Amino acid sequence: MFSFFKKKSPAPPAVTPPAPEAPPSVSAPVLPAAPAEPAALIVPSNLVMAPTATAPAAPPVRSSWMAKLKTGLRKTGTSIATVFTGTQIDDALYEDLESALLMADTGVKATEHLLEDLKRRVKDSKTTDPTAVKGLLVQSLAALLAPLQKPLRIGQYTPTVIMVTGVNGAGKTTSIGKLTRHLASEGATVLLAAADTFRAAAKEQLGVWADRNTVDIISQEGGDPAAVAFDAVSAGKARGRDVVLVDTAGRLPTQLHLMEELKKIKRVIQKTGPLQDLGNTTSQSANSVPPHEILLVIDGNTGQNALSQVKAFDDILGLTGLIVTKLDGTAKGGVLAAIARERPLPVYFIGVGEKLEDLETFNAQEFAQALLS
């Protein structure tokens, strides 16, 4: 599920270690083609299980996840899939597809792109079968979504500081709980910062996750969220934690004073100073200054509104990635294509349920297949 950097050792120059032995039920991890990685080693986690077209059959864990994803996206997929039930590939088919994609909140730009790309693929393949066109649409969608597929890198800094933002009820606290569980199950030590000091229940909610996951939580009765974040990062440094997750209160991008507050939280976290970059032992890189990740949690049910949130939060904070929740039962799953076309930020995780295990890494090919199955 994550990329872990190998921790720095004073011993001889780093040598790539053999890949950790994978448990029998888990396939070899496949990371998306990435630009040149820094010298530090990425030790792929045994939870990175994204299969590609050429990978061996999906392991049981991932395939049950796929079933969940397919069920979750059925509402979106059914209306698109019915377009291909006819016998001819004609203008009517493309018009119906255009409407279905727009109804699925794919947005005008991504819809235009997909139609153009699909027509080219149909022409190149010389197919006359509408069912085959659906297969080509899967390819086209997967190619559009591919830039969003990226693993979250953990372990390059001690701690890796992750600030989590989003509108009210998007699923921030739940996603932090799920993420904490995954991190803890991979052996990472986690410290949670309850910087949502507005909602009385938020601290308790996070406290429950903390208890469940046996991690520490830093909170302050009615305190300043920026101060909570500062204390948490300082404590994370002092205690040598691998990850500090900072939960923030939900807010709308139109609530400018609250957006200013988020900027302040970011600034104050930056003031905790640079953290040792385990991937760059010679100089201190600029991004060793926390927060290393600023994530926006979006509710997949909100469709085009989610895209507006991505743009607004990104403009103000400079986001590094997204978590898309509630993809179970949404008719608006096309919004990921809109994000890919208009604001392509990495989608680190997607949520398809309220349970702890209902969080997985995003895989473009799987998502495209599930959406159009």
Ligand X SMILES: Nc1nc2c(ncn2[C@@H]2O[C@H](COP(=O)(O)OP(=O)(O)OP(=O)(O)O)[C@@H](O)[C@H]2O)c(=O)[nH]1
**Residue ranges that bind ligand X, judged by CB under 6 A:** 166, 168-174, 196, 199, 202, 250, 325-326, 328, 351-354, 358
* Amino acid (one-letter) located at 331: A
The secondary structure element, H or E, covering residue 44 is strand 42-44
Q: Backbone phi, then psi, for 163, in 5-degree steps?
A: -100, 130
191 vs 296: CA distance, rounded Å: 19
What minimum distance in Å lies between the beta carbon of 209 and ligand X?
Answer: 10
What minimum distance in Å lies between the beta carbon of 318 and ligand X?
Answer: 20
Q: Binding site annotation covers 172? A: yes
What minimum distance in Å lies between the beta carbon of 193 and ligand X?
Answer: 14
What minimum distance in Å lies between the beta carbon of 110 and ligand X?
Answer: 22
Residue closest to ligand X, measured at CB: 250
Q: Binding site annotation covers 46? A: no
Between 121 and 172, whose beta carbon lies closer to ligand X? Answer: 172
Q: What is the DSSP string of 281-328?
A: SSS--GGGSSPSEEEEEEEGGGTHHHHHHHHHHHHHH---EEEEE--T
Q: Which of 7, 356, 349 is nearest to 154 (CA)?
A: 7
Q: Binding site annotation covers 155? A: no
Cis peptide before 56 (omega within 30 of 0): no
193 vs 228: CA distance, rounded Å: 7
Q: Binding site annotation covers 120? A: no
What minimum distance in Å lies between the beta carbon of 163 and ligand X?
Answer: 14
Between 59 and 166, whose beta carbon lies closer to ligand X? Answer: 166
130-145 and 364-371 are packed helices; what angle lies between their axes, rounded to 10 degrees? Answer: 140
Q: What is the DSSP string of 111-148?
A: HHHHHHHHHHHHHHHT---HHHHHHHHHHHHHHHHGGG
Between 37 and 354, whose beta carbon lies closer to ligand X? Answer: 354
Q: Binding site annotation covers 251? A: yes
- Supply the DSSP symbol for 12: S
Q: Binding site annotation covers 327? A: yes
What minimum distance in Å lies between the beta carbon of 166 and ligand X?
Answer: 5
Q: Binding site annotation covers 303? A: no
Tell me the binding residues: 166-173, 247-251, 325-328
Binding residues for GTP: 166-173, 247-251, 325-328
